[in-house]
Amino acid sequence: MNLLTTAIIVVVVWGLVALGSWLWVFLSAKTSAVLLKPIDFTKKISNENGQIIDVRESAAYKRSHIMGARNIPMANFSQGKSGLRKDRDIFLYDERLRDVVRVGKSLKKQGYHKSKIFILRGGFSRYDGKTTK
């Protein structure tokens, strides 16, 4: 096998692994919460009296966040210390889908219903509503 063939195989395998990983996270998100596009997320939080939760670390939250959001880092959810109300919708966001999916799964295990958990698809950088700073 020559070097070019080996390089092509490595790139193809890497691409398949990356695609599979992304697909796994995406499907996991759909089983634990409702994924919303940024425009739908913005509309829903303006029409609902929900709990907007930023699961990023506090430094990122302090730089900028969605207006009205509380900062509860991902680690708090894995310890079962979210303190969120089960009777109100929960709107979750972070920078990456992978971390927020873990939070959604954790909330579902704690008894929150999937239909009340909403995840911002694409992360905070894609959000087009009101933010601080």
Burial letters 32-65, b for 16+ CB under 10 A, else e: bbbbbebeebbebbeeeebbbbbbbeeebbeeeb
Query: Along the 133 residues of the chain, how does pLDDT read in single tens digits?
Result: 688 888 888 888 898 888 776 667 666 667 788 989 999 999 999 887 899 999 999 999 999 999 999 999 888 876 666 688 888 999 999 987 878 888 888 888 888 888 999 999 888 998 988 898 7
Q: Record the pTM.
A: 0.79
Look at the alpha carbons of 93, 96, 102, 104 in this order and tell me if their dihedral is positive or negative. positive
Q: Are 55 and 93 in contact, with CB atoms under 8 Å apart? A: yes
